[in-house]
Structure 1
Amino acid sequence: MPAEHLAETAEAKQIEGRSLGKIAFARLRRDKIAIISAVVILLIIAVALLAPLIVKLNGFPPDQFNKLDADGNPLLNTRDGGIPIGGLFGSGSSAEHWLGVEPQNGRDVFSRLVYGTRVSLLVALGGTIIAVVLGTVIGMVAGYFGGWVDTLLSRLMDIMLSFPSLLFVMALTPVIASRGQDLLGIPDDNKLRMGVLMFVLGFFGWAYLARIVRGQTLSLREREFVEAARSLGAGPGYVIFKQLLPNLLPTLLVYTTLLIPGNITAEAALSFLGVGIKEPTASWGRMISDASDWIESNPLYLFFPGMALFITVLAFNLLGDSVRDALDPRAGRG
């Protein structure tokens, strides 16, 4: 190959433009906070997926009541309200029960903490998916069609945003769960409640994203590539999902990473208030609620689920901030 051609090829590679996705990925790889947050999130997801295998390491199912240890010694002081005996800060921790046991019933805290990861992530991810799908579709339809369609959907967004969502979730969750039992013949167990929580959190969480998507769609629909697709006979469905949606993916990605921790906190708050996950299913919010009565005698019972919730929410928030900064076209690209 001639030397002149090699020089031209090298020069072309140097000046070759990079897409926003490649630029964002390069920024994330240089962001230590983003990498650490992503690793933490992956570990949390792995714990949720492998919960049965992890719990087998100590051999105590999350719902098993334990009154005696392996040597036949009591784990709980029945004369003092059932608080754990011994261990770090009166938690009952030992070589068998690594994080201690729950007061009164002796259930293993480690096992319940691991299984609680499943519940918190599943509810948060389910609610986020519903909110993102509804918000994206409604926002794109409102922004693309305009006119009375935009007016109608925008007023619907205003109504949804004006609702005190937490109060409505608290009021509707037990009602919908009981109706599901009566009308569908589904027992009012925690699987049904998890589905209800996903639906209610997603239903009350789509409006803000829909406003963002609508605003960007209003701008994108006037761009040349959309006009070109229309001139070639493309229908609204093709333009919305093939032309507009790919250009909205960065915004959707950022919003998703920021919505997940909010839903994790919401599920914990609802379980803490008694309208979310109920006994005997393990949930971080449920554990925090139960531990609030034993904070003086067994502070670690509150510390472990509280710290798990804190680390998870912090990791998602930090990753969301990093993704938002990486996708910001105004940031330096050096």
Structure 2
Amino acid sequence: MTLGATEAQSPEGGLPSDHIAETAEAKQIEGRSLGQIAWARLKKDKLAIASACIIILIIAVAIFAPLIVKISGFGPNEFNQTDASGKSLLDTANGGFPNSGLWGSGMSKEHWLGIEPQTGRDIFARLVYGTRTSLLVALGGTVLAVLIGTVVGMVAGYFRGWVDTLLGRLMDIMLSFPSLLLIMALTPVVADRAKDMFGVEDTNALRMGVLMFVLGFFGWAYLARIVRGQTLSIREREFVDAARSLGAGPAYVIFKQILPNLLPTLLVYTTLLIPSYITAEAGLSFLGVGVKEPTASWGKMISDASNWYEVDPLYLFFPGLALFFVVLAFNLLGDSVRDALDPRAGRS
């Protein structure tokens, strides 16, 4: 039997050519998920790509800090009073500030960013190790805040009724606390008590753990409010009703049906929360309730440099610049991710 013109076979004798054309066209107009659309937008956003590169670089510096410092040749806690030729690096007769380098910073081919006044510690090495302190505290506090806020918000939004009322009042209480004052008051007290209870020798590691816990504990309530509102909307959707009608329990619905639809919101909030905690750690260290000597911290470096900015302005400039770029990169990336995940934005 011969085929008509509209049913002509392909030259290879396979499926009709019209069917092949329709299949190819269907592949071209195949729908994309929200994640695919967001990734396509992010790849076109040069500002987002630049911010992501800066963040990746900072994370790499924190991970490979010992190797980087080894290449530079000076440890973060090493006192350097003289150079390789035996010449004094500090003017001990006039307060101990560096006696060479750009603007009295002590910058040289050995000390790339200069040295600290009085101690002679290498600023580059301390800046690199300070990256670890800032990122660890910020990431730890963010993880804790996101975990608590997500669980509390989903439970309140899904069960509603008295559960929602009780958790809602708890959110109101947490939001009404003067968190900064409480963090300043609790951090040294909790660190000292924990040191006595557990006999921890490394007090700075303990202080970093306390900072993570306190920042996360006082930072979950706002996210819980957002998650609760989203959960109230999602729980009324058809796929949630279908899961419940098939006998799915609350735990399955919350974590298998509702949580995946909250991931874009959680991702955006996380990228915006990390820089705020980096700034918070720096501020607490600046005020003297963060990490203590000899652990390097950007905030502690800025605090110490504030006493020397008139004779050694670069000592204040470098940690301030590092803090500025990291916080800016996270904020710009967070804004880009939020715009990319916005379903109301154009999808062309």
Q: TM-score, normalised by structure 2?
A: 0.95
- Pick one of 257, 263, 285 that aligns with 1:249: 263
CA–CA separation in structure 2 for the residues paired with 1:285 and 1:5: 66
| Unmatched segments (≥5 aa) in structure 2 | 1-14
| Structure 2 residue aligned with 1:110 | 124
CA–CA separation in structure 1 for the residues paired with 2:108 and 2:72: 11
Q: How does 1:42-81 map to 2 (within 5 A)?
A: 42-81=56-95
| Structure 2 residue aligned with 1:171 | 185
Aligned residue type for 2:41: R
The 10-residue stretch of structure 1 (246-255 or 224-233) with the greater mean CA deviation from structure 2: 224-233
- Pick one of 176, 190, 215 that aligns with 1:201: 215
| Structure 2 residue aligned with 1:265 | 279
Q: What RMSD, in angstroms, separates the aligned Cα atoms of the two structures?
A: 0.7
What is the CA deviation profile of residues 39-98 of structure 1, one whole-angstrom value per residue up to 9, with x for unaligned ones?
000000000000000001121110011100000000100001100011011000101000
- Pick one of 100, 105, 110 that aligns with 1:91: 105
- Pick one of 214, 237, 240 that aligns with 1:223: 237
What is the CA deviation profile of residues 138-188 of structure 1, one whole-angstrom value per residue up to 9, with x for unaligned ones?
000000001110000000000111111111110100010001011122236
CA–CA separation in structure 2 for the residues paired with 1:188 and 1:25: 43
Aligned residue type for 2:139: L
| Structure 1 residue aligned with 2:35 | 21
| Structure 1 residue aligned with 2:9 | none
What is the CA deviation profile of residues 222-275 of structure 1, one whole-angstrom value per residue up to 9, with x for unaligned ones?
111111111111111111000000000000000000000000000000000000
| Structure 1 residue aligned with 2:150 | 136
Q: Is the 8 A contact 1:84 1:103 kept in 2?
A: yes
Corresponding residue pairs, total:
334
CA–CA separation in structure 1 for the residues paired with 2:295 and 2:146: 27
CA–CA separation in structure 2 for the residues paired with 1:2 and 1:112: 70
Q: CA deviation at 1:2?
A: 2.5
User: SS where residue 233 of structure 1 aligns?
Assistant: coil
| Structure 1 residue aligned with 2:250 | 236
Q: CA deviation at 1:290?
A: 0.3
Q: Is the 8 A contact 1:180 1:188 kept in 2?
A: no
Q: How does 1:26-45 map to 2 (within 5 A)?
A: 26-45=40-59
- Pick one of 160, 164, 181 that aligns with 1:146: 160
The 10-residue stretch of structure 1 (94-103 or 183-192) with the greater mean CA deviation from structure 2: 183-192
Q: CA deviation at 1:14?
A: 2.6
Q: CA deviation at 1:206?
A: 0.3
Q: CA deviation at 1:8?
A: 1.0
Are 1:185 and 2:199 counterparts?
A: yes
Q: Is the 8 A contact 1:267 1:285 kept in 2?
A: yes
Aligned residue type for 1:195: G
CA–CA separation in structure 2 for the residues paired with 1:237 and 1:75: 64
| Unmatched segments (≥5 aa) in structure 1 | none
| Structure 2 residue aligned with 1:11 | 25
Counting aligned pairs with the same residue, the percent is 78
Q: CA deviation at 1:218?
A: 0.3
Q: Is the 8 A contact 1:178 1:188 kept in 2?
A: no
- Pick one of 134, 146, 154 that aligns with 1:120: 134
Aligned residue type for 2:328: L
| Structure 2 residue aligned with 1:315 | 329
| Structure 2 residue aligned with 1:333 | 347
User: SS where residue 293 of structure 1 aligns?
Assistant: coil
Q: CA deviation at 1:304?
A: 0.3
CA–CA separation in structure 2 for the residues paired with 1:169 and 1:184: 21
Max radius of gyration: which structure?
2
| Structure 2 residue aligned with 1:281 | 295
CA–CA separation in structure 1 for the residues paired with 2:144 and 2:23: 47
